[in-house]
Amino acid sequence: MGLRYLLFLKIFIALLLIQNISLAQTITLSGTVTDKVEKISLDSALVEIVNKNNPLEKYSTFSDASGSWQYQFTPSDVNDKSDKPINFSLSQNYPNPFNPSTKINFSLMEYGTVTFTAYSVIGEEIDRKTFQLDAGNYSVTWTSKGSAGVILYSMEFDNRQIVKKMIQLDGGGSGGWGAISGSSNTFLSKGNEITNAEFYVIASKLAYEPDTTLHQLTGNLKIDFELDLVHNAAFVIDLHNDILELLGDDENIGDSNPQYQTDLPRLKAGGVDAQVFAMWPNVGSDPSEGYEQVIGYADKFFNQVDKNSFTLMQATNPEELQSGIDEGKIAGILAVEGGSAIEDDLNKLKEFYDLGVRYMTITWNYNSNWAVSAKDAESKTRGLSEFGKQVIKMMDSLGMIIDVSHTGVKTIEDILTVTKNPIIASHSGVWKLNNHYRNLTDAQIISIAKSRGLIGVVFYKSFLSRSNDVTIETVIQHIDYIKKLVGINFIALGSDFDGGITTPVGLEDASKFPALTYALLKHGYTNSEVKQILGGNFLRVFNEVCGKKNR
């Protein structure tokens, strides 16, 4: 009877101690979560509270319809106040209350013997289990055993003890302590003493960048978060747009114009930081007017920059591109769509470069004298001429990106034997998903990736599918395919807006890019992967090819 009384007294004192600790250290965190730009409240944002030194001690809640959140908890504590360094931690069980089982997380800073014991509130031992474990993060499962009600559970390690309480909703006879899960971790060593003073508080929501703060929790605290959309935080570039072909000399791209798919207001609404403006020489099989047409398009672009100097600028190198981003302007990059425009004259290629042209599509849907189009019946057997190889070498030396959308199979193969730079397909799809001559085979996608280049996935309905039901999800199918084949590092976007295209549902014009970002995130792409697709991958190629000669 005396031993049982002493055991009961020990547990009773421990229970009182827990209650005192809870009263002294129960902390209430609260705050709001809002959109950084729109300043609107964000409903159902996840707020996580994580012990800096013991990530297994983790709590979470969600914001309500008004964007407000609140969570009350008691950080893990040790009931031994000696000067000895704390070298283990024990978290509150979860879920709590529970039926029929609950999980308890714990951490060790060094190898040793761990004993878990469960008691009733009158001091009767319900179950005990001992383990030999290395330093690491672990969890142990408790399955209902004994009577329903409050259960005290203790963890003993290195002659110290932590005691907590849990609520068992229903009794059981065959449960108790289960097996240990988790793994050892060499980071958790004796030099890294656990403290319960600092906690990360993290707010996150689908389509938003998470925000993390670190706080020393000595009392109640209000923490307000402003989250930025992933799309807003990303660099966004569209690799191909044909609006220059449609704009009249007296029209202003700065004005909203619903007859087109592109104008500056919609580019701004779409979060577009940079736009490649294609200059397409519409000369058929006679290239004699191609050069003059490109010069005319360039003049039209410069005129639009003059009309909209507060919102539009030209970028010819990475530094100018960054300057545009910093100033909040849309950076325009010029491209020539069809190498026939140089009229078999390398000097004209140099003139295009001096105008600011930073990529040239080698062919359009017809051949030049030196390269073969993908539409040609002999695309697989005829490629670059000797002059064509000189063109490729000069583009390399100038710092002009080689674009192979529209370009024939053998021509692309020949280009890759000559160039030392990454190549791109600015606006193409996947042939395996839709066997259109404008799309890329697996072998071509792999070759482009091996060159360190990228594929701008097109929004043209006819290239994406033979079905009439083409949506944002169809675009994602092409992105998925490329990712699975060669990885995320080689994917970009090339809409082909205002190129006579019928668009997928949901991507009707340049204002709709955020819808694609949201769909990618919902599909399971990470924030980082989406940022690569939106523009990060292009920046890598642009820096490598166009940064060399402009620094």
219 contacts: CB under 8 Å, gap ≥ 6: 27
Residue 464 CA to residue 459 CA, distance in Å, equals 7
What pLDDT sits at residue 319? Answer: 96
Burial class of residue 406, CB neighbours in 10 A (0-12, 13-18, 19+): buried
| DSSP string computed for 233-284 | HS--EEEEE-HHHH--TT--TTS--TTSS--HHHHHHTT-SEEEEEE----T
What pLDDT sits at residue 496? Answer: 97
CB atoms within 10 A of CB 222: 10
pTM to 2 decimal places: 0.76
What pLDDT sits at residue 186? Answer: 44
What pLDDT sits at residue 467? Answer: 94
Residue 532 CA to residue 236 CA, distance in Å, equals 9
Output the CATH code of domain 2-229: 2.60.40.2550
Token representation of residue 278? 């294609």
Residue 343 CA to residue 417 CA, distance in Å, equals 23
What pLDDT sits at residue 191? Answer: 41
What pLDDT sits at residue 189? Answer: 44
Summarised one tens digit per residue, pLDDT across range 359-371 is 999 999 999 999 9
Summarised one tens digit per residue, pLDDT across range 311-361 is 999 999 999 999 999 999 999 999 999 999 999 999 999 999 999 999 999
Token representation of residue 472? 């944002």
Q: Where in the sequence of the chain do the CATH 3.20.20.140 domains occur?
A: 231-546
Digit-by-digit pLDDT tens for the chain (551 residues) are 455 544 444 555 444 444 443 334 688 999 999 999 999 999 999 999 998 888 878 899 999 999 999 999 887 654 444 444 567 888 888 888 888 889 999 888 888 899 999 988 777 899 999 999 888 889 999 999 988 888 889 999 988 888 888 888 888 888 999 988 887 664 444 444 434 468 999 999 999 999 999 998 878 999 999 999 999 999 999 999 999 999 999 999 999 999 999 999 999 999 999 999 999 998 765 667 899 999 999 999 999 999 999 999 999 999 999 999 999 999 999 999 999 999 999 999 999 999 999 999 999 999 999 999 999 999 999 999 999 999 999 999 999 999 999 999 999 999 999 999 999 999 999 999 999 999 999 999 999 999 999 999 999 999 999 999 999 999 999 999 999 999 999 999 999 999 999 999 999 999 999 999 999 999 999 999 999 999 999 999 999 999 965 44
What pLDDT sits at residue 73? Answer: 86
Residue 436 CA to residue 66 CA, distance in Å, equals 50
50 contacts: CB under 8 Å, gap ≥ 6: 57, 58, 59, 199, 200, 201, 202
In which region does residue 136 sit, left (phi positive, over 0), alpha (psi from -120 to 50) or beta (all else)?
left
Residue 74 CA to residue 220 CA, distance in Å, equals 11
Q: Where in the sequence of the chain do the CATH 2.60.40.2550 domains occur?
A: 2-229
Q: What percent of the chain has pLDDT over 70?
A: 89
Output the CATH code of domain 231-546: 3.20.20.140
Q: What percent of the chain has pLDDT over 90?
A: 72
Kindly state the helix (H) or strand (E) to which residue 107 belongs, with its residue range.
strand 101-108
Cα–Cα nearest to 22, from 69, 92, 81 = 92
Kindly state the helix (H) or strand (E) to which residue 408 belongs, with its residue range.
none
